[in-house]
Amino acid sequence: MTDRAAGDGAAELRKQIAQTRNQLGATVEELAAKTDIRGRAKARAADLRDRAGAMTVQLRSTAAQAGHTVQEKAKGAGHTVQDKAGRVGHTARNRAKDTRYELRARAAKAGEDLQERGSHTELAAPAPLRAPVRFAARHPRPLVIAAVAGIAIVAAGVLGRRRCAR
């Protein structure tokens, strides 16, 4: 039994020696990796490059998304301004029509009043103003257009002030 016990002991020692060699080999590799500054620097640089590339892609995506968002908001604002301008234009046009009808009615009333009095004299407007007044009475469209343009300019000024006040 002693031979067998010695054989088992030698096998056990060989096994322990092999384990110890493997552990020493791993330890030496770890130490070699820690002392390889150049290799570690290259690995760190590659890692940083990968991170920078990923960050670049993410930033480009975010910028593109922000650009699309701004574009959509600008489109919406443009449509809103168009709608408001259209409403202001319609309102101005309707007011101008109402004013035109009111002025015609007043002029007709004044003419009737003059005829009732028996006065056949023309209105006491200075001579240089008679022709433009007659033209405006016969052709009210340019006068209405000028009035609408004036109202639109005033409305644009008011809207501009409101926007600046915000």
pLDDT in tens, 98-127: 888 888 888 888 878 777 776 555 555 566
Q: Is the C-alpha dihedral spanning 57, 59, 61, 63 positive or negative?
A: negative
Task: List the one residue out of 101, 100, 102, 120 whose CA is nearest residue 111.
Answer: 120
| Residue with more model confidence, 56 or 111 | 56
**Which strand (E) or helix (H) includes residue 15?**
helix 2-35
In this predicted structure, the answer to whether residue 56 has a pLDDT above a threshold of 80 is yes
Kindly report the pTM of this predicted structure: 0.35
pLDDT interval class at 23 (50, 70, 90): very high
| Residue with more model confidence, 157 or 1 | 157
Q: Tell me the percentage of the chain whose pLDDT exceeds 70.
A: 86
